[in-house]
Amino acid sequence: MSTIESVALAAIDPNPYRDLNTYPWIEAKVEQLMRSIGDVGFWEGVIARRLGERFQLAFGHHRIEAARRLGLSTVPLIVRPLSDGDMLGFMGRENGEDYRSDFPVMLNTWDGAVRFGDHRRQNPQPLEIARLLGWTVTTERRPERMTHLAAACAAAHTLIKDGHLGHADLRGQSVHDAREILTRVQTGIERLARIGRREGHRIADTKRAQAVLGKSARITLREAREGRVAAKALRAQVDLNTLRVAHKAVKPVRVPLFGEFADTLCAQIDRMLDGDSAAEKIEEIARALPTIELEEDRAVVRRVDQRLRELARRCERLQRRFAPDKTEGQRKRPGPRPANATAPARLTSA
C-alpha cells in the first residue's frame, strides 16, 4: 500500500544499489528541475521505501538533488513497501531514462542486479537479470529477449569477470559501440571454448587464443573512443585487430582463430559479388556507352576505366598473396614434384 509522506531531506538515502561514484549527476537535468521546482513547486512523483527511521529512494534521484540545492528541508515522497528486486527494477528504468547513452553507468546497474542475484544464491541467467531491470522486449513474432543494452552489459560483465577487460576500458563508450564490440568478442570466446573441447585442444592453447580476442576488444574499444572507426565497421574491426594481435603474438596461437572471422569475410565478398551497388552503377554506365557523345562524359568513362584497371590489379595482387599453398602448414609439407615440372609462369598485370 502506498502513502504520501512529508519527509526531511536529511533522512533520505539513495537507492542501495546505486554507486554514486559511478553515477555523476546530469547537471543540465538538475538545473532544469531546479527551475521547475521554483516555478510550480515539488511534485509528488518521487518513490521510496521506509527502512527504520530513514527512507531509501527507488526513483527520483535528480529531483531530490535539485531540492537539496534549492535549500528545501522537506519533500513529499510516495512511500511503498518495496523489495530489493523492486528497487533494482526502479533503478534500471530510471537509469535507462537518465543515462541511456553512457554505457559504464548502465553496466554498473547490471552489476548491481548480478550482486543481488548472487546474494540470494539464485545464480540468475542474463535474461532473468534483464527482466528484473526491465531491459527485455517481446513482440508477436519473437519471444522475450534482451534489449541491445542488456546484451552489451551481459557481455561486458562476463569479459570483466574472466579478466579480458577492465572497467577502465569501457570509459567513454556509448551503448551502441559497446554492444557491437563486446558481443562480437564474447561470442568468439565462447566459440573457441567449444572448438577446444570438441577438438581436444589443450586448455592453455584455448585460453591463449581467447586472450587474443580480449586484447582485440581493448584495442577496438580504444579506437572507437578516439573516433577512429565508423560505428558500422566496429565488428569488422574486431576481426581485423584479432588477426593483427595473433600475428604479433610471441607464442603461436594454435587454436584456429582464422575461422572466427573467415566466414564473415567470405559473406562480405559474396555480397560484393552479388549485390554491390557500385557494380550496379558500372553496369548502367556500360549499357549507356553507345549513347555518350559529350567529351565531358567520355572523360568520366576514361576515369572509371582507369579505376577498374587499378582495382583488377589490386585484386590480382591480393589473390596471389592469398594462395592456400603459402600457409605455414603447406610450406612444411610440400607435395612431390613431377619429373617434367617446370617453373610456374609469372603473372603479369594488365
Supply the DSSP string of 242-296, one letter for each residue: HHHHHHH-SS---S-TTHHHHHHHHHHHHHHHHH-HHHHHHHHHHHHGGG---HH
Co-location of 271 and 281 in the same domain: no
Are 201 and 248 within one domain? yes
| Same domain as 72, residue 1 | yes
Range of the domain at 27: 1-82
Query: Of 249, 275, 301, which residue sits at a domain end?
Result: 275
pLDDT at residue number 342: 47
Among 247, 275, 303, the domain-final residue is 275
Mean pLDDT value across residues 186-204: 88
pLDDT higher than threshold 50 for residue 345: no
Query: Could you tell me the three cell numbers for 185?
Result: 568478442
Closest CA to 113 of 102, 123, 103: 123
What is the residue-averaged pLDDT of the chain? 81
All 3 cell numbers of residue 279?
557494380
pLDDT digits (tens, 9 = 90+) for 144-175: 999 888 999 999 999 999 999 999 899 888 88
Closest Cα to residue 66, out of 39, 84, 48, 106?
Answer: 39
pTM: 0.61
Check whether 56 has a pLDDT greater than 90. yes
262 and 287 part of one domain = no
**Does the residue 335 lie in any domain?**
no
Q: How far apart are CA 343 and CA 60, in angstroms?
A: 78
Grid cell 569479459 is found at 159
Tell me: do 227 and 147 sit in the same domain. Answer: yes
The reply to whether 234 falls in a domain is yes
Residues 246, 257: contact at Cβ < 8 Å? yes
Q: Is residue 339 part of a domain?
A: no
* Tally of domains within the chain: 3
| Residues 295 and 233 occupy one common structural domain | no
Percent of the chain scoring above 70 in pLDDT: 81
**∠ CA(184), CA(97), CA(108), 5° rounding?**
55
What CA–CA distance (Å, rounded) separates 286 from 83? 70
The answer to whether residue 349 is domain-embedded is no
Q: Are 260 and 177 part of one and the same domain?
A: yes
pLDDT at 261 over 60: no
Given a cut of 50, whether residue 217 has pLDDT beyond it is yes
Residues 165 and 301 in one domain: no
106-148 pLDDT per residue, tens: 888 888 888 887 766 667 789 988 988 888 988 878 889 998 8
